[in-house]
Amino acid sequence: MERPAYIRQSVINGAPLIGTWVSLPAPAIVELVGDAGYDFITIEGEHAAFGRSQIEDMVRAADAAGIPSIVRVPMEGNWISTALDAGTGGIMIPHVENADEARAIVKAARFPPMGDRGVGAGRASRYGMNIGPYLQGANDGILVALMIESVEGVRNAREIASVPGVDVLFIGTGDLGLSIAHSADAGFDIDGAIGQVVEACQSVGCAVGMMATDLTIFAKWKARGMSFMMVGLDVMILGAALKQLERDARAIG
């Protein structure tokens, strides 16, 4: 499998993609997701207990399983370069609120002249043995997905989506719902906010997506034009399956 495995062109072309979150630092989970037929995985580097070497191991497992990976990491520090040097084909950055932040993220994800990402002999470049070809392909191949998770982000969605190099706006409904609930003048509910982001992206040709907590929500927003959808989180899928299995076993008597 080519390393990194890029899905950016599929996203730009509007292909409907379905991914899932992986938050357990266990490469076997990545292999299971790959075997299940998902289009990509997102490695949860914001809330889960991943160290830098564990992120690389998860990306390595994704490559071995034949499934493209994206890593969610904070914009602070050098987490963007850490994820990209590990060989992932994309990054997802939380809590983006304006176009200036979007431009800074794109710059950090691109090599000169498009950005200021540093060159390193990491896994992505086959430990320095493939730097030339990697440099040629990375700027065109790396996916940049930005998360809209606040009232401010919704209001600036069109400007954020218009920044060159931004490929996806991904709506974080949990934090967005909290932001709306604690805003004195949001002017929209969660469905209204999602609709505004969808319309903003569609107006400038940017892909848009979110995590659907159930298939009814998935169907609703897919019909509205979302093409970059996430369903499920490994710990929640495992927890629900364990509870159901326990109930079914006890029901036998």
Q: Of 107 and 1, which is predicted with more confidence? A: 107
- Note whether 226 and 210 are within 8 A (CB): yes
Task: Determine the pLDDT at residue 4.
Answer: 76
C-alpha–C-alpha distance, residues 99 and 159, integer Å = 6
Task: Determine the pLDDT at residue 137.
Answer: 93
Does 182 qualify as catalytic in the annotation? no
Greatest CA span in the chain, whole angstroms?
Answer: 68
> Which residue of the set 2, 16, 47, 183 is catalytic?
47
Q: What is the pLDDT of residues 161-194, one digit of tens each?
A: 999 999 999 999 999 999 999 998 889 999 999 9
C-alpha–C-alpha distance, residues 116 and 149, integer Å = 26
Q: Where are the chain's structural domains? A: 8-251
C-alpha–C-alpha distance, residues 164 and 99, integer Å = 10
pTM over 0.75: yes
CATH superfamily of 8-251: Phosphoenolpyruvate-binding domains (3.20.20.60)
CA 142 to chain centre: 12
DSSP 34-77: HHHT-SEEEEETTTS---HHHHHHHHHHHHHHT--EEEE--SST
